[in-house]
Amino acid sequence: MFYYFTSFLTPGTIFHYDFSEQDPTPKVFREITVEGFQAHLYETEQVFVTSKDGTKIPMFLVHRKGMKHDASHPVLMYGYGGFNIALTPSFSVSRVVFMQHLGGVFALVNLRGGGEYGEKWHKAGSLNNKQNVFDDFQAAGKYLIDKNYTASHKLVIMGGSNGGLLVTACANQAPHLFGVVVSQVGVTDMMRFHKFTIGHAWTSDFGSSDIEEEFNWLIRYSPLHTIPASGEQFPAMLLLTGDHDDRVVPLHSLKYIAELQYVRKNQPNQTNPLLIRVDTKSGHGAGKPTAKIIEELAEIYSFIAENLKIDWQE
């Protein structure tokens, strides 16, 4: 038997287990190594955050060993929270770069709506319970600030697709909590998402604005329709979409950034950039060439570093 193991700090190892042996023990068959990365300098911890309604939300934190809790570290907080999908530990070279060369902490939040604890957990973050997902994510951000991992102006949130809905909704609801927001191919128009390509299939998690009761759920958090016109400035925002995305069509990101720029343009305190990156000849993400992936990630982390005033560390 062959089996594969990976984690936040393990690029990937294939083990071989031979049942025919008298005393079988797993043996390394193939191991991936990343040049220049010393895993023993880092550690992973799991904490449980209390959400608005008292529910305990698990969160993984990956950072250098012996890190001081002095609120000086940039944190990249990632979430999804939908469609019964569980976010499990996995290795990412770009996140290693963030930790190793930008002095960052990576946080993965296992939000309600996902599949981490079964169908009950999924339903607790879907349909009329969708606000729970945003409350969970904001509670995780507050935890990181309260425990002095970071400060609000150094807290980056990132999510893609349904996770793009997550981060734009949270930016609307609590702009003071975040320093940078990165939304990748996000769903932002909750009134019309079901009218384009495969969007009709998402009504199982979101509901439909064609039904009055469900319209009332959706209009309360739809990112496109809940951008505050005044108040504190928005964090630096970078939206990303592909011009051939036929899953979450580009209109979601295009309409949101247009509305955001229009609403915030006359606010004298809005000095943080509100930008969109439209990739050509690409879609929702799957099958994207390595060169395009590297280019996109380089621009994302450059945007983060520039707006958090982070210097590259060797």
Question: How many angstroms separate the Cα of 178 from the Cα of each of 6, 75, 145?
Answer: 30, 10, 10
- 232-289 pLDDT, tens digit per residue, is 999 999 999 999 999 999 999 999 999 999 999 988 999 999 999 999 999 998 888 9
DSSP 90: -
Q: Which of 73, 135, 136, 161 is catalytic?
A: 161
pLDDT tens column, 36-74: 999 999 999 999 999 999 999 999 999 999 999 999 999
Q: What is the pLDDT of residue 230?
A: 85
- Model-level pTM greater than 0.95? yes
Tokens of 201: 């299939």
Structure confidence by residue, pLDDT tens digits, 160-179: 999 999 999 999 999 999 99
Q: What pLDDT is recorded for position 287?
A: 84
Could you read off the pLDDT of 285-313 as tens digits, one per residue?
888 899 999 999 999 999 999 999 999 99
135 annotated active-site: no
pLDDT at residue 239 in the model: 98
Instruction: Give mean pLDDT, residues 104-121.
Output: 98
Q: Give the pLDDT confidence of 201-242 residue by residue, as tens digits.
A: 999 999 999 999 999 999 999 999 999 988 899 999 999 999
- DSSP conformation class of 129: G
* Residue 102 identity: L
Catalytic residue among 245, 253, 279, 282: 245
Catalytic one of 63, 153, 194, 284: 284
Would residue 90 show up in a list of annotated catalytic residues for this protein?
no
Q: Confidence band (pLDDT; 50, 70, 90) for 35?
A: very high
Structure tokens at 255: 């309409």
| 152 pLDDT higher than 90 | yes
Distance CA(148)–CA(117), nearest Å, equals 28
Active-site residue flag, 63? no
Q: What is the pLDDT of residues 116-129, one digit of tens each?
A: 999 999 999 999 99
The whole-number pLDDT of residue 231 equals 87
> SS3 breakdown of the chain: % helix, strand, coil, rounded to 5?
35, 20, 45
Q: Which amino acid is at 309?
A: K
